Amino acid sequence: MLNFSIYNDTVYLIQQSEVKDVWGINTLQSVKIPVSCRCVESVETIKLTGDKSENYITKYVISFPSDVDVKYGDKIIINGMSFNIAKLSKSRDLSGNLMTSKVWV
Domains, the chain, ordered by start: 9-104 (2.40.10)
Question: What is the DSSP code string of 45-90?
Answer: EEE-TT-SSEEEEEEEEEEEETT----TT-EEEETTEEEE--EEEE
What is the band of 34 on the pLDDT scale with cuts at 50, 70, 90? very high
On the question of pLDDT at 80 being above 60, the answer is yes
Could you give the CA distance from residue 98 to residue 100 in angstroms, rounded to a whole number?
Answer: 6
Could you give the CA distance from residue 74 to residue 51 in angstroms, rounded to a whole number?
Answer: 34
Average confidence score pLDDT of the chain? 85
On the question of pLDDT at 103 being above 50, the answer is yes
Percentage of the chain surpassing pLDDT 70? 91
Q: DSSP character for 93?
A: -
Percentage of the chain surpassing pLDDT 90? 22
Q: Which amino acid is at 85?
A: I
Q: What is the pTM of this model?
A: 0.75
